[in-house]
A and B are shown apart, each in its own frame.
Chain A
Amino acid sequence: MTTIGTPPKDYLLAVEALTVSFDGFKAVNDLSFYVDENEIRVIIGPNGAGKTTVLDLICGKTKATAGSIRFRGAELTKMSESQIVLSGVGRKFQTPSIYDDLTIFENLEISYPKGRSVWGALTFKRDQAVRDRVEEVSEIIFLKDKLHERAAFLSHGQKQWLEIGMLLIQDPELLMLDEPVAGMSVSERIKTAELLNTIIKNRSVLVIEHDMKFVEDIAHKVTVLHQGKILSEGSMQKVKTDPKVVEVYLGH
């Protein structure tokens, strides 16, 4: 777990010279950026810019061709997905990824950070602490009264909330959200923004989002990706006025 050449500052997440290529096509090309503790970073960019791939690389879903990703000084590119999760990274997928055949309670319970080994899962006890925590989270995600219903019967927005809840119960230090409000109704969107504002406290968050209004609401810092590279980085205000960004967005 030793790292050569510590970053200039003790960042929570340090992505350096990250590259991945699919049969010669470089989806992410020599990408570097850093995320501070308790920072909310939004990644924007046109379609095909490599946003989702960056999240895939961080959480280990895709293996990097070159470069490094350090989280609290530990090299993530060498870890398995579950190790990455255990070290404190959580990921929400673009389309709601929940277990239709299980109840809301069971969905949340699976993300409860205990009994994650085979033996642990066999001997896992649903004690008061688990129940309390599940109820607590279900309240946050507006699903308390549906705890024992099957997740399949939830609406699209509720499924998104459920997945966010599953991450919340997991309590990651770095939370990655892929388009959390996509496909939501206006009222759901408002509720979701409220929800996100609650859960981003005391952790770093990496969000991919297209909805500029939403981005402006929550972002501390924005990174603009284009063709696998950083086009611009900084505050929303700065990025918005960056001529390169304007060109790319208008060009598309």
Chain B
Amino acid sequence: MLGDYSLGDLGAIFAMQGFAGLILFSVYVLMALGLAIIFGQMGVINMAHGEFMILGAYVTYFCSEFFQAQLPSLFPAYFFVAMALAFVASGALGMLVEWTLIKRLYKRPLDTLLATWGLSLILQQTYRSVFGPREVGVVLPDWLLGSLPVTDVIEVPINGVFVMCLTTLITVTVALLMYKSRWGQQVRAVVQNRVMAGAVGIDTEKVDRLTFGLGCGIAGVAGSAFTMIGSTGPTSGQLYIVDTFLIVVFGGATSLLGTIASAFSISQTQSTLEFFLSGSMAKVITLLTVVAILMLRPQGLFTLKVRR
């Protein structure tokens, strides 16, 4: 396989594949970050995570339509508005869901799985009824399209760079929020000992709701970003759910750093394998490897050893 390419080509291959892997990595981090907060910090298995993402995508679609029709002059900047709105919409829905559903299930993690699966079906059907069964096309402003040529073979897609920057920004924000802010302290306190946190005056219900909302909001932003590279339809969200959970679990669930490391290793493996194998087999082998490693090391990549 390698013999078919010249040495110069091979260099270009690795450069481009590396970059493709980085884009995939950013996408995975975006997908997994919200879930890492919800699952890792709160222990809630949110099977409707993909549907929260798609809500963000639909919000973006509406923004693009609205700006095209009403504010064509501001169209180039609409994407930022869309992302903000996506965050608000998904976050608000998330808080609503937490308040009506999740709140009652904190002690039954497996039941959150079933309930949120039910929620995902309801959301899918709602999207279908409201937005129609077909995929919608999101029109992107021109500056997000195209690519920057580096050499005559290597070209860097602009939206890829955009996704990477966005991912970095969100990750840093979340990390600061979780580890530096007072609110993050409260979240971690609630995670570690709900009763005690409540006893020292933390409003655990509020913390829970905000945490869940934040996770869903990030999913919304991810969905918004995904309109650049993926499809937006009522069932698109389901495509991501298994990958996302595997990333979070592989990373060790409770650790943001673990999630990032796991997204990195999975994306690089898949991207490299994809070049040498068929897409289907690359996916199978990547997933199998992850599952096999998880069987051997169930605690994931990063975890603290504590007395049980």
A residues with a Cβ closer than 8 A to B are 22-23, 27, 53, 56, 61-62
Say if the beta carbon of B308 comes within 8 Å of chain A. yes
Closest-CB distance, B308 to chain A (whole angstroms): 7
Contacts of B305 in A (CB 8 A): 22-23
Instruction: Say yes or no: B304 contacts A27, CB within 8 Å.
Output: no
Instruction: Say yes or no: B308 contacts A22, CB within 8 Å.
Output: no
Chain A residue nearest in CB terms to B304: A23
Chain A residue nearest in CB terms to B306: A22
Contacts of A53 in B (CB 8 A): 307
- Interface CB pairs A-B, < 8 A, 12: A22-B305, A22-B306, A22-B307, A23-B304, A23-B305, A23-B306, A27-B307, A53-B307, A56-B307, A61-B308, A62-B307, A62-B308
Interface string of B271-308 (1 = CB under 8 A from A): 00000000000000000000000000000000011111
Contacts of B304 in A (CB 8 A): 23
A56 to B307, CA, bound (A): 10
Q: How many residues of B contact A (CB 8 A)?
A: 5
Chain B residue nearest in CB terms to A20: B307
A61 to B308, CA, bound (A): 8
Interface string of B25-60 (1 = CB under 8 A from A): 000000000000000000000000000000000000
Q: Which of B305, B306, B307 has the most chain A CB within a 10 Å cutoff?
A: B307
B residues with a Cβ closer than 8 A to A are 304-308
Contacts of A56 in B (CB 8 A): 307
A9 to B305, CA, bound (A): 36
Contacts of A61 in B (CB 8 A): 308
A22 to B305, CA, bound (A): 6
Contacts of A22 in B (CB 8 A): 305-307
Chain B residue nearest in CB terms to A27: B307
Contacts of B306 in A (CB 8 A): 22-23
Closest-CB distance, A19 to chain B (whole angstroms): 14
A56 to B305, CA, bound (A): 15
A56 to B308, CA, bound (A): 10
Besides A22-B306, A22-B307, A23-B304, 9 more A-B contacts (Cβ < 8 Å) are A22-B305, A23-B305, A23-B306, A27-B307, A53-B307, A56-B307, A61-B308, A62-B307, A62-B308
Q: For the complex of A and B, list the 6 residue pairs with the smallest distance between their C-beta atoms, beginning with the closest.
A: A23-B305, A22-B305, A22-B307, A22-B306, A23-B304, A53-B307
Contacts of A62 in B (CB 8 A): 307-308
Contacts of B308 in A (CB 8 A): 61-62
Contacts of B307 in A (CB 8 A): 22, 27, 53, 56, 62
A100 to B307, CA, bound (A): 25
Closest-CB distance, B306 to chain A (whole angstroms): 6
A108 to B67, CA, bound (A): 72
A53 to B307, CA, bound (A): 8
Contacts of A27 in B (CB 8 A): 307
Closest-CB distance, B277 to chain A (whole angstroms): 39
A61 to B307, CA, bound (A): 10
Chain A residue nearest in CB terms to B307: A22
A23 to B305, CA, bound (A): 6
Closest-CB distance, A149 to chain B (whole angstroms): 25
Closest-CB distance, A245 to chain B (whole angstroms): 25
Chain B residue nearest in CB terms to A52: B307
A22 to B306, CA, bound (A): 6
Closest-CB distance, B246 to chain A (whole angstroms): 26
Closest-CB distance, A80 to chain B (whole angstroms): 16
Closest-CB distance, B257 to chain A (whole angstroms): 15
A53 to B306, CA, bound (A): 12
Chain B residue nearest in CB terms to A21: B305
Closest-CB distance, B305 to chain A (whole angstroms): 5
Closest-CB distance, B109 to chain A (whole angstroms): 19
A23 to B302, CA, bound (A): 13
A33 to B93, CA, bound (A): 60
A26 to B304, CA, bound (A): 15
Chain B residue nearest in CB terms to A24: B305
A62 to B305, CA, bound (A): 11
A23 to B304, CA, bound (A): 7
Closest-CB distance, B303 to chain A (whole angstroms): 10
Closest-CB distance, B107 to chain A (whole angstroms): 15
Closest-CB distance, A48 to chain B (whole angstroms): 11
Closest-CB distance, A61 to chain B (whole angstroms): 7
A131 to B305, CA, bound (A): 43
A138 to B304, CA, bound (A): 42
Closest-CB distance, B256 to chain A (whole angstroms): 18
A82 to B182, CA, bound (A): 45
Closest-CB distance, B193 to chain A (whole angstroms): 16
